[in-house]
Amino acid sequence: MKNIKTMICAILFLGLCLSIFSVNANPTIENITTNPAEPKPLSTFTVIATITGENITSVTVTISECTEKPPAQCFKSHPNIPMTLNDDGKYEAEVTLTGTQDSIDHVQYLFNINDDGTEYQVDDLKTYLKTNNGNNGGNNDSPGFELVILLIAVFISLIVLRRKR
């Protein structure tokens, strides 16, 4: 009889411990994808977020169009876009970029998640845009002026060597 009482007390104690530690966790964003995967500036794309939480009642997203080149700036172009829950349990919103600046290279997200009356904000998430920037002095591994200078140097060297003979 004593063993049964000890066993029941242990089970009750474990149940009490488990109920104390099963406090509702804050909602989290596990994954963000876009469709198309690499949106272009001035395009329309869909933001798809996998959000976990117990009693999520609504989700909105604020999109900022940003540039990383100095001076780094962000322009809030789409505040509080409502997201809809799709069949896969993911939240979606469609966005059309405005392209207020030419140097926009990524978008940043600020998610407002309403979890049973409590508001949570999740930010610092971004998606880089597919930009078609010109070379602007960068190296794209193709011959350029270096090849022309090399050919001129070889041609001058040949002329000088022939005159010496």
Compute the mean pLDDT over every residue in the chain, rounded to the nearest whole number.
77
Backbone angles phi, psi at 31, to 5 degrees: -160, 145
CATH code of domain 24-133: 2.60.40.10
pLDDT, tens digit (0-9, with 9 covering 90-100), for 94-117? 998 887 667 788 888 889 998 888
Is pTM beyond 0.95 here? no
Q: Where are the domains of the chain?
A: 24-133
Cα radius of gyration (the chain)? 30
Q: State the DSSP string of 16-39.
A: HHHHHH-PPPPPEEEEEEEESSSP
pLDDT, tens digit (0-9, with 9 covering 90-100), for 2-33? 667 665 655 655 555 555 544 556 788 888 88
Residue 159, pLDDT > 90, answer: no
pLDDT, tens digit (0-9, with 9 covering 90-100), for 41-68? 888 999 999 888 778 889 999 988 888 8
Measuring CA to CA, which residue among 112, 120, 102 is closest to residue 65? 102
The continuous run of DSSP H or E covering 75 comes out as strand 73-82
Q: First and final CA of the chain: distance in angstroms?
A: 118
Spatial separation of the C-alpha atoms in residues 120 and 51, rounded to whole Å: 12
